[in-house]
Amino acid sequence: MAIAAKIIQQPENTSSQQDGKELAGSHILCEALIREGVELLYGYPGGTIMPFYDALTAYPALHHVLVRHEQAAAHAADGYARATGKVGVCVATSGPGATNLVTGLATAFMDSTPIVAITGQVAWSLIGRDGFQETDILGITQPITKHNFLVRNAAELADIVHEAFRIARSGRPGPVLIDVPKDVQFQKTKYYPSASITSEEYLRRAQANVEQPSDYLITQAVQLIERAQRPLIMAGHGVILSNAYEELKGFAEKSGIPVVATLLGLSCFPETHPLYLGMPGMHGPAHVNHAIGQADLIVGVGLRFDDRVTGKVSEFAPKAEIIHIDIDASEMHKVKVATVPIVSDAKVALAALTKAIPVCDKSDWLREVRSWQQAAEERVQHIQADDDMPDPTSILEAIRKVTDGQAIIVSDVGQHQMWTARHYTWTRPNSQITSGGLGTMGFSLPAAMGAKMGLPAEPVWAIAGDGCIQMNIQELATLQQEGVAVKVAIMNNGYLGMVRQWQEFFHSRNYSETPISGPDYVKLAEAYGITGIRVTRRDEVESAVRRAMEIEGSVIIEFIIEAEANVYPMVAPGSAITNMIEETTENF
């Protein structure tokens, strides 16, 4: 069951005051976290992790946030990591504490978020004997972590911590779990600080040392770009993870190729840029999906070609050759066979391509796609809408207007997530945080807390539905206790909206178990000691958002929206993305 850590060479000279002193494993754990630059950690104490919590009071540099549920600890660490680019840290005890982290770790794994999770474990003498609160958390988390460790003794603890951070942030980032038996936390040994560098310095060195793509592959890619008549750049989360904003912009402008961004790629390229088209896939606008259907070249940068983007794979970009850039070699040819597979950091690969390509003119193709966009917009202009009730577009436009587009938007999962992705105008880099791969309801509130604590000077909005918000609503108490100001917009339609929409389209409106009730959110906010606002009219939306921004501390705004509002367009599961259900019921 034990997994050995790679031992890191001890430095000859250290400046730690604890160098060579005898320390308990719990104190060594704290020392190692501080050497990794950790300032915030989210967790919940319990029996087997208690020695660590006992030691924690001696390390004021480590600010521990007591969440109200361990799942929220993982999501908060996730939001912190995505907003800051640092490694998020969460802590739980063994058994139910550790298993409550699992959903958050799976979320981070699917979306390539660097997290280190620390769990207590029963003493070595009890492992394998079904001790109280014993769970094989290594076996449970093996498929949803980059790596996990069971610490054998206190002497290897510091090395394991540093190795865990290295793994979490290197290459394609992801979560790593360290399971620490209780007796190891008590065990004393000589502590010699292991060689370590902070996350920022590590990333700087890592990017500087990334191997350049081969000249052969770059030449192949340039040839495809030059001869393409209908090319598209599909930008994914990898652009954000590699901080390749300027490189993507420079490549798009020099090549003249229009850009589409996946759900997790949103905010990697300014939506106000003339080359930006929109989001592809199941809920992508018609002109984007139609463009993919007609494209003769796809330049995929830092994306997985997941099923919500591709729809029916055999009919996705059927006329296109593919240049695929990704740091993870396992993604190559997994869904779509790449004509030119470039295994590289997105920042490095885009810079190499931009240097190699000549200035290209793809304006005829861009005008063609814009004509499809105009036609699609004209088709929906005549549709009558309720002008009295708040609608998702008015809510999102008000948030953007009042915050001048500078807010960090953390959306939950469902209709509101798709409305946010589609109708918020993303211009600030890395301003969109959501659960993409796993689609975890209950993500937004704790993740927004993590984002706000990581970037305390920035406005942070959590966008949720009335189903999602109730999954981790207990974290309002954590926000209040920590004095963290997150503004929460709840789009309340009285349904589990996305499931209800599928039931409408594909199950003959059999709304089985999708109507959902909820509390009086204004009274609930008051009970938690924060401000609650209810908005029932569209003309009240902007003023409510302004009021929320003026109030110190967290605020909940409940927007009562149309009960059966749908997200359009929509692609039926298993269909080609060019076969869309639109509001007009007209398809290409």
**Which residues are annotated as catalytic?**
70, 132-133, 182, 498
- In the DSSP assignment, the letter for residue 559 is E
- CB-CB neighbours of 355 under 10 Å: 12
Element (H, E) at 526: helix 521-527
Distance of CA 327 to the CA centre of its chain: 17
Q: What is the SS3 string spanning 49-104?
A: HHHHHHHHCCCCCCEEEECCCHHHHHHHHHHHHHHHCCCEEEEECCCHHHHCCHHH
- List alpha helices for 209-244, DSSP H: 215-227, 237-241
CA 227, 231, 236, 241 dihedral sign is positive
Q: ∠83-88-90 over CA atoms, to 5°? A: 135
Backbone angles phi, psi at 299, to 5 degrees: -105, 100
- CB-CB neighbours of 457 under 10 Å: 5
CB 571, CB 282: distance < 8 Å: yes
Question: 538-559 burial string, b = 16+ CB within 10 Å, else e?
Answer: bebbbebbeebbeeeebbbbbb
Cβ neighbours for 179, distance < 8 A, ≥ 6 positions apart: 98, 119, 120, 121, 137, 138, 148, 149, 150, 151
CB 353, CB 300: distance < 8 Å: no
261: Cα within 13 Å, side-chain hemisphere: 29
- CB-CB neighbours of 537 under 10 Å: 12
DSSP string covering 331-349 = GTTSSS--SEEEES-HHHH
For 88-195, strand residue ranges (E) read 88-92, 115-121, 147-150, 175-181, 188-191
Closest CA to 430 of 170, 242, 232: 242
CA–CA gap between residue 523 and residue 529 (Å, rounded): 10
Closest CA to 242 of 300, 173, 298: 173
- In the DSSP assignment, the letter for residue 213 is P
Query: Whats the size of the chain, residue-wise?
Result: 588
Closest CA to 542 of 389, 401, 391: 401
CA–CA gap between residue 572 and residue 579 (Å, rounded): 8
From first CA to last CA, the distance across the chain in angstroms is 55
- What strands lie across the sheet with 297-301, from one edge to the other? 276-278, 259-261, 231-235, 297-301, 321-326, 340-343
